[in-house]
Structure 1
Amino acid sequence: MKIFLTAILLLCLPGLALLAQDRPISGVIVDSLTRAPLSGATVVLNPGSRTTFSGENGQFKFGKVNAAETAIIISAVGYEKKQILLHNTYPGEVIELAVHETQLSDVVVYANSGNPYKTISDADIKMRGVSNSQEVLRIVPGLFIGQHQGGGKAEQIFLRGFDADHGTDISLNVDGMPINMVSHAHGQGYADSHFIIPETIESTDYKKGSYDAEKGDLVTSGFVDFHTADAISGNLIRVEGGQFDTYRALAMVDLLGDRYKAKGQSWYVASEYRFSNSYFDNPQHFNRLNIFSKFSTRLSGNTRLLLSASVFHSSWFASGQIPDQAIDQGIVGFYGALDPNEGGVTSRNNINAQFITSFKNNGILKNQFYYSRYKFDLHTDFTFFLEDPVNGDEIRQKEKRNLYGYHGSYLYEHYLGNIKLTSKIGLDARLDVTDSSELSHTKNRYTLLNRIKLGNINELNTGAYVSETFQFNEKFSINAGLRFDEFAYHYQNLFAGDTTFNGTGKYRASNHSLSPKLNFYEQLSSKTELYLSLGKGFHSNDARVVVAEKGTGTLPSAYTGDFGVVYKPFDNLLFNASLWYIYLQKEFVYGGDGGTVDFSGRTRRVGADLSARYQPVKSILFDLDLNYAHGRAIDEPDGQNYIPLAPVLSSTAGITYSGKSGINASFRYRYLSKRPANEDYSLTAIGYFINDVVLNYTQRKYEIGLTINNIFNVKWKETQFDTVTRLKNEVTPVDGIAFTPGTKFAALAHISYFFR
């Protein structure tokens, strides 16, 4: 009898499997420890190569499968690969992936991911790690940063031949909320990311160029999106201490525990406090406090709520920028300060709510609402006694701001014959209400000498987009998108002495831009992806520029193109290389430091990027990024057409070791070549080559570590500017380089305790 029943069962199994294959295959992928959904996981039908990726709720879906396809293989960087037989699945099944040590072999080259940088970004943040808040930005290949107020101000950003100042030509976001501040008192797009606690970042997405329809303002050279963890697997307490009176304390605590995670709920809080006098001769007295909390839950079977809130406050003194002649004359040392009153205070409080709904047709509806309360008060002195030989040229930039925003999108996957269509539509709205944006001439920080600018700014940016991806087969797909942006600017001038405007009162202007996008992805083999991206974007400007020019020509077009390849010849070797082009129609730039409008004409930038990752054995990873850019002003004569401070040749590389004994370490370099400091290259911004080391000993319950920046104690200039200055005893102004020194040899030790 048993033999008979077994024979019947064996005969029926193929039919049962076939019946299972007559229905769509769907599921939800989650982390086995945190139970948080995993987006971007690769799901492959086997045998064959039909592939899809999990969405924001971790869901995936295939249409009707053929009889030959019997299993799905699920993989994600940092997780164990899993194979599931189709006859063992049911619709909407929750599939858990277990965390394991990240390997380069986990990275899948697949053209239809829609982002050629995904293969690099997936690996880097998990295999290289992030040791500090600056390293968060440096994870992007080719992106360089410079700090010229010791950690208080937003970093100066360089990418693809752009000196993007503090964020003018690059969009930075965290959990879908913008970091950049438009029409800022210090400059357009000012992006202070110091309110992000590095240990909360789970992943980073980035893309160079303006090729995504869902990205609008500030995406001239590219964008960077940070994603904080929806849940944490355990608790962490960390203390740090090092040279120059540098201290930091960090805590991350899971408030609900595993019992609630099993129900789809999580809530954790993270906080950090940092103090440092830094390496400058003038003690910085830098203080920073961050508190971040995130709650996630399922409101229904198919809707998730992600709710986060954060508090950030920072204050500091700064050494400021030092003219070369002050060093040459022995007035001040390389790490000295000419005006010890420079520095500032800033704060930002955020609330961010995301509602993500999955439908049975595999559609995803996302609604996001966010709010920020922001304050900024900065004192700087760039020219010293150039304008006022008696009191000096110290300035104060100050503002208070309410930022309101909404993102809404709907993504739907369907089929037209054998062509898979992924349709996405979206709406964006952002309103910045800035109170008393101020530029003043001051002395000793708080003595007001005279106003330069004072006013209230309202800026509304609304956008709508549509994006369609045509996946013709497993080898080739096309993405086409169209975006429309509308800007409305209101400026209330409160200072009658501002010569830019005809008296006090309200000034209004508006403009708009239509931006088409087109991307081609070709899978030549399982090892090689080719891509061609074309897109139109725009260069946005400060509201005070726009209303002064009555909107005319103040939203110039930017045209970008990329041709590249992702190549993985072996499981342990990965390349990403591209040739790129950026044409910018013209620029109006609001100079927040002087309250003036500077104009430059057309510019053209071309370049090449190369990234390589190599893991000869499981414990060792080599990484290399090499970037070249050639930029010129088109309408200026040869020799007068250099783009000031535009990076030319840059490179970063490192070796990371992760041993089974718990010892892990990295040795890295950063190289930035010399570059023109002004239009005729009569002044040079000197390049630098410095090295950093990280050494950790990690066990299940604790970690002990040491980070050393600039291990060879190189004397280098981190930021440099062509500045006309006059020192107190000088009769004639000097046009030369003013700089902020980079860090000396700086060692920082830490100890961490992990518990559940």
Structure 2
Amino acid sequence: MISDWLKIGFKSFFGMILMFSSFTGFGHELRGKIYDSYQNPVAGVGVYNKTTEAFTYSGINGYFEFDSISVNDVLYFYSLGFRTTSRTVAEEDLDSSVAIVLEEAPVSLEQIVLISKLDAFSRMVRIDTEQNPVRSSQEVLRRVPGLLIGQHAGGGKAEQLFLRGFDLDHGTDISISVDDMPVNMVSHAHGQGYADLHFLIPETLDKLDFEKGPYKAEYGNFATAGNVSIKTKKKIDQNRITLEAGDFNTLRMVGLMKILETTNTQAYVASEGVLTDGYFTSPQNFNRLNLMGNFHFSKEGESLRLAASHFQSRWDASGQIPQRAVDQGIIGRFGSIDDTEGGMTSRTNLWMNHYKSIDDHQSVKTSAYVTAYDFELYSNFTFFLEDPVNGDQIRQKEDRLILGAKTVYSKKIHTTEDDSHAELDLGTGFRYDKVSDVELSRTRNRTETLENLALGQIDEFNGFAFANLEYRLGKWTINPALRADYFSFQYENELTDTYDLQRKAKLFLAPKLNILHTFSPDLQAYAKTGFGFHSNDTRVVIANRGEKVLPLAFGSDLGINWKPDSRLAINAGVWGLWMQQEFVYVGDAGIVEPSGRTRRVGADLGIRYELNDKLYMYGDINYTYARFTGAATGEDFIPLAPDLTSAGGFTYVGFKNVEASLQYRYIKDRPANEGNSIVAEGYFVTDLNLNYTYKNLSLGLVIENLFDTEWNETQFATVSRLRNEQEAVDEIHFTPGTPFFIRGRLSFTF
């Protein structure tokens, strides 16, 4: 049945592409370009004809056009960060190209108009970041509504992620990218989809976009629960030096410096250093260094960006501790059973983004990247379960080289016959991972290798192509899309006596269809549906002889974006997501393994409200019903899948140069095993930020866990045995969350 549906969808989709590509007559009754005060083109500006209720958006080169327009029609121009501008169409406008200059203004909900765009909610959420800038790399992902994170390895390992009833581990079902460079690691030594975002310097963050569900053709592997696209700054307005110091011997230093600034060219460097002992009994000895250089050149119709970064980190960790050890007084909440855990990692990136406008209706975007990465992690999840003498410490290690590129051709299509508009995107690209000496070994005290459990070489290639059509007719936007992914998995086992190289290949086709109806500039309804996938680890693919290589996901969303008032924005929706295969954490081996089919249904509600020019409030609440399908009732819970989460806060700006923000995050108790006999405790944690600015000097205070709540940041149901125990015990193992943690910040701009 699904195959029949796919065939019909493919025929209809390509039929629409051919139909719209055949139109060559354009009715340019009003056309123009939109610029900022520096004469730079502004993309994504909403242009709304209040007289006829027609609408459009400016392209990357700032170009827009209207058909069937009349003298005295009133046009409104909306864009975040710019003052809303209106223009009454004059007779001379119809015979020439007009230039619209937008004036910069503080970001406000009033600047959002709900016309034709499928990512309206993502645009609303950008205001959260503008009103309350991100202070750490961990905060970046928390800005996605419904996405919660947890750290459980001394701050150096990628965070554990939760979204839409998923325990995403470190990124198995969420695609994360920075400037079109993927963050997720395929066939990673520690976990499939591993996404370590610590190479991002938070002060360089420019924009964060997201999509929940598998609905965007541009994103393939891991984009099932959703995707997060991060853009860094192309240029900086001011030089900045920041120093932070706080509890637990914490020190952070940041620098952003311009090194070149002309009319068409800008360049800057950014650096970050972090040191801390952490709040555990055994010091973490944590250190992290980030360096980034950025060069940007732009002229009319073309831009080029070159950037490079280097990240390295080293740390010790106290690991996840069993609840019984705390209850019996063997250790305290911040103690450890094995404090020799920890690791080291580094990532070096070089990436390029190029845009070229062929003419007012056609453009090409190209991105390319190369990444050198290494990783070494020591963990002990089960203590003395497997080896009562030496303990169960393991090492996971790899060295990796990644190469990739993507090109997208865009064409705007206008027809004068029915005043319809369409935009066609055709993209293609590849990603190649060369993973050397990917290892899982038993070790002792991080110095002695006791046994190699797995050791090999991985070559994984992903080639892809996609077509995306956005067709606008009146108040309707119809968005059919198709993506094709080809994977080649190759693994050489280095533990066999003879040469052992195996290879599997797989093709995946993912049709998608999104429909949007704009009732007015203040109300839109949407329906989204589509297929997606996550790839399995190469070693799993080879071991299973190519079975379940690319587990399928099917999702659907139905919801509204509504602005009942110019200062109030609401997103509400219901959704469902069905997965062909789930990943479940296996604590005693420090790995994840595939499990059965799952279904999730849920509801999301997000509210953003500006009480006045100084006070901004937001909140999101997300509910999910998540179960394995085919399992016995009562044994079908998905371990660690959250069913109720919420996050929100408020920001106050303006009183005597003082800024204040209070933020909370909440997660309800959730099952830790399939039978729900072991429960992972929920939490409610509040953070506070205060900032005072005087001229070019800024003083800040950051308090994490303001009310000193006792909470567990990450939790797992794990079978373990302590040194003097005769029998193994299956219970909650946890990493305690941050206690009251205060640090001060001094920032100087020039």
Contact 1:232/1:268 (8 A) holds in 2: yes
| Structure 2 partner of 1:81 | 84
| Structure 2 partner of 1:271 | 271
| Structure 1 partner of 2:522 | 527
Structure 1 counterpart SS, 2:126: helix
The one-letter code matched in structure 1 to 2:477 is S
Structure 2 counterpart SS, 1:68: coil
Residues in 2 aligned to 1:594 and 1:92: alpha-carbon distance in whole angstroms: 66
Change (3 A) 1:594 1:281: same
Residues in 2 aligned to 1:277 and 1:595: alpha-carbon distance in whole angstroms: 25
Contact 1:619/1:657 (8 A) holds in 2: yes
Corresponding residue to 1:629 among 608, 611, 624: 624
Query: 1:548 deviation in Å?
Result: 1.4
Contact 2:281/2:334 (8 A) holds in 1: yes
Check if 1:109 corresponds to 2:114: yes
Query: 1:750 deviation in Å?
Result: 0.3
The one-letter code matched in structure 1 to 2:63 is F
Query: 1:354 deviation in Å?
Result: 1.2
CA deviation map 1:77-127 (0-9, x unaligned) = 1222234566687978775534322222122222x1122423322322112
Change (3 A) 1:36 1:252: farther
Query: 1:660 deviation in Å?
Result: 4.5
Structure 1 counterpart SS, 2:359: coil
Contact 2:638/2:673 (8 A) holds in 1: yes
For residues 232-243 of structure 1, the aligned pairs below 5 Å read 232-243=236-247
Residues in 2 aligned to 1:433 and 1:597: alpha-carbon distance in whole angstroms: 21
Residues in 2 aligned to 1:39 and 1:681: alpha-carbon distance in whole angstroms: 50
| Structure 2 partner of 1:721 | 716
Corresponding residue to 2:561 among 563, 566, 576: 566
| Structure 1 partner of 2:682 | 687
For residues 216-615 of structure 1, the aligned pairs below 5 Å read 216-257=220-261, 260=262, 262=263, 264-298=264-298, 301-416=300-415, 417=417, 418-473=419-474, 475-496=475-496, 504-587=499-582, 594=589, 598-615=593-610
Change (3 A) 1:598 1:42: same
Query: 1:539 deviation in Å?
Result: 2.8
Q: Which moved more, 1:731-740 or 1:87-96?
A: 87-96
Contact 1:422/1:469 (8 A) holds in 2: yes
Change (3 A) 1:273 1:26: same
Contact 2:270/2:293 (8 A) holds in 1: yes
Contact 1:148/1:719 (8 A) holds in 2: yes
Aligned residue pairs total 720
Residues in 1 aligned to 2:124 and 2:28: alpha-carbon distance in whole angstroms: 37
The one-letter code matched in structure 1 to 2:496 is A
Contact 1:319/1:339 (8 A) holds in 2: yes
CA deviation map 1:13-35 (0-9, x unaligned) = xxxxxxxx9655131434x46x6
Which sections of structure 2, spanning at least 5 residues, go unmatched?
A: 1-26
The one-letter code matched in structure 2 to 1:305 is L
| Structure 1 partner of 2:214 | 210
Contact 1:545/1:590 (8 A) holds in 2: no
Check if 1:97 corresponds to 2:97: no
Query: 1:624 deviation in Å?
Result: 0.8
Residues in 1 aligned to 2:534 and 2:169: alpha-carbon distance in whole angstroms: 13
Query: 1:672 deviation in Å?
Result: 0.4
For residues 18-57 of structure 1, the aligned pairs below 5 Å read 24-30=30-36, 32=37, 37-45=41-49, 47-55=51-59, 57=60
Q: Which moved more, 1:626-635 or 1:88-97?
A: 88-97
Query: 1:506 deviation in Å?
Result: 0.4
CA deviation map 1:116-170 (0-9, x unaligned) = 4233223221123212211110100000001001320000000000000000000
CA deviation map 1:46-88 (0-9, x unaligned) = 6443322233x34222144523355643332122223456668
The one-letter code matched in structure 1 to 2:524 is E
Query: 1:597 deviation in Å?
Result: 6.8
Structure 1 counterpart SS, 2:663: strand
The one-letter code matched in structure 2 to 1:377 is E
| Structure 2 partner of 1:173 | 177
CA deviation map 1:279-333 (0-9, x unaligned) = 11111111111111211113x6422111111110111111111011111221111
Change (3 A) 1:37 1:394: farther
Percent of paired sites with the same residue: 42
Contact 2:29/2:67 (8 A) holds in 1: yes
Structure 2 counterpart SS, 1:255: strand
Change (3 A) 1:73 1:256: farther
Change (3 A) 1:93 1:136: farther
Structure 2 counterpart SS, 1:199: helix
Residues in 2 aligned to 1:73 and 1:436: alpha-carbon distance in whole angstroms: 58
Check if 1:62 corresponds to 2:68: no
Which sections of structure 1, spanning at least 5 residues, go unmatched?
A: 1-20, 498-502
Residues in 1 aligned to 2:193 and 2:499: alpha-carbon distance in whole angstroms: 26
Residues in 2 aligned to 1:530 and 1:741: alpha-carbon distance in whole angstroms: 42
Structure 1 counterpart SS, 2:404: strand
Residues in 1 aligned to 2:257 and 2:708: alpha-carbon distance in whole angstroms: 37
Change (3 A) 1:596 1:396: closer
Residues in 2 aligned to 1:290 and 1:363: alpha-carbon distance in whole angstroms: 38
CA deviation map 1:155-212 (0-9, x unaligned) = 0000000000000000000111000000000010000000001111111100000011
Query: 1:586 deviation in Å?
Result: 2.3
Query: 1:596 deviation in Å?
Result: 6.5
Check if 1:193 corresponds to 2:193: no
Contact 1:558/1:582 (8 A) holds in 2: yes
Residues in 1 aligned to 2:574 and 2:73: alpha-carbon distance in whole angstroms: 41
Contact 1:28/1:60 (8 A) holds in 2: yes
Moved over 4 A (4+): 21-24, 69-72, 84-96, 588-593
Residues in 2 aligned to 1:92 and 1:394: alpha-carbon distance in whole angstroms: 69
Change (3 A) 1:450 1:289: same
Contact 1:452/1:595 (8 A) holds in 2: no
| Structure 2 partner of 1:500 | none
Residues in 2 aligned to 1:194 and 1:92: alpha-carbon distance in whole angstroms: 46
Contact 1:407/1:429 (8 A) holds in 2: yes
Residues in 2 aligned to 1:465 and 1:519: alpha-carbon distance in whole angstroms: 15
Residues in 2 aligned to 1:187 and 1:399: alpha-carbon distance in whole angstroms: 12
Cα RMSD of the aligned pairs, angstroms, is 2.0
Residues in 2 aligned to 1:522 and 1:385: alpha-carbon distance in whole angstroms: 60
Query: 1:598 deviation in Å?
Result: 2.9
